[in-house]
Amino acid sequence: MPSVGIDAPTPMPQPLAPAWLAASLVAIAAAAVLFCCLVAVLSTLGLFASFGTDGATDFLQQLKFDRQLRTQVGAATVSAAYVGLALATLAAAWLRGGRGWRDLVALRPMRSGRTAWRDTLGIAALTLGYIAVTTYAAEHARDRSLLVTGPTDMVLISLLVGNLVVLAPIAEELVFRGWIYTALRRSFSFWPSYLVTIALFAGIHWDASHIRIVQVLPLSAALGLMRERAGSIKPTIALHATYNLVIVAIRLAFT
């Protein structure tokens, strides 16, 4: 006789196979771009509604020649991109998993037990110690005459810090250690999933100077290992945010 008043456990949704995972990433990126376009259109309409045609036209003309204003708008655009990326990833998880969507992005409590906590805290301590020492040494060794004065506009500083310390960690962890790693880990063993995620994360942060890779590769390796040991992206978001905060704080101290 079936039990009464007891809900059956929600079955764990299956992550996407690799081919469908690749297609989903294209869809997530496209959705994030559409979100940015929507924000741009609504912002423009709000500008005209608030200041009228003349005021809005003056603002757009000023945008062409005011470098500081362009930088602020650019930082706000990056903010919208991160929000769009996070929302698109969450939407993909919900469409795929329904009530079990959290399992598809590992947005759940970390594993219990002393070993998981010990490993998580150990990884965090080593990673933050590494970036603090290397960033401080790099800034201290840099020729002071070549330093570029950092931003002094509080609006811009707030946007940059918000992007680096809040939005980027949330969006990037949802995508990489959440959506991508969870799907890969269901199809492959630890090492292929781990190395592919590291490569993808490092690839999007690559720049022509190759300097950032010295910071990004250790971070990506630490985040992937923490995700495996903790079974959740909550601690990886916290580590990613703290990592970026340490870099920002040290660099601002030297400007």
For residue 90, tell me if it sits in a domain: yes
Report how many domains make up the chain: 1
Task: Judge whether 118 lies within some domain.
Answer: yes
Distance of alpha carbon 105 from alpha carbon 176, whole angstroms: 9
Inside any domain, residue 61: yes
Q: Where are the alpha helices (DSSP H) in 106-207?
A: 114-141, 154-162, 168-173, 181-187, 190-204
- At 147, is the secondary structure helix, strand, or coil? coil
Is residue 82 in some structural domain? yes
Give the whole-angstrom CA distance, residue 161 versus residue 141.
24
Question: Which segments of the chain have a pLDDT < 70?
Answer: 1-11, 143-152, 208-211
128 in a structural domain: yes
What integer pLDDT is reported at residue 151 of this predicted model?
62
Neighbours of 36 (CB within 10 A): 19
Q: What is the pLDDT of residue 146?
A: 45
**Sign of the C-alpha dihedral computed for residues 23, 16, 176 and 32 taken in this order:** positive
| Residue 31 placed within a domain | yes
Where in the sequence is the domain holding 209, given as residue range(s)? 18-142+149-253
* Distance between CA atoms of residues 86 and 54, nearest Å: 36
CA atoms within 13 A on the CB side of 205: 20
User: Model's pTM, two decimal places?
Assistant: 0.90
- pLDDT digit string (tens) for 37-46? 999 999 999 9
Task: Please state, in angstroms and rounded to a whole number, the distance separating the CA atoms of residues 49 and 150.
Answer: 34
Provide the 10 A C-beta neighbour count for residue 83.
17
- 229 occurs within a structural domain: yes
Tens-digit pLDDT profile for residues 24-79: 999 999 999 999 999 999 999 999 999 899 888 898 888 888 888 899 999 999 99
Chain position carrying tokens 């602020």: 72
In a domain, 134, yes or no: yes
CA distance 20 to 219: 27
Element (H, E) at 206: none
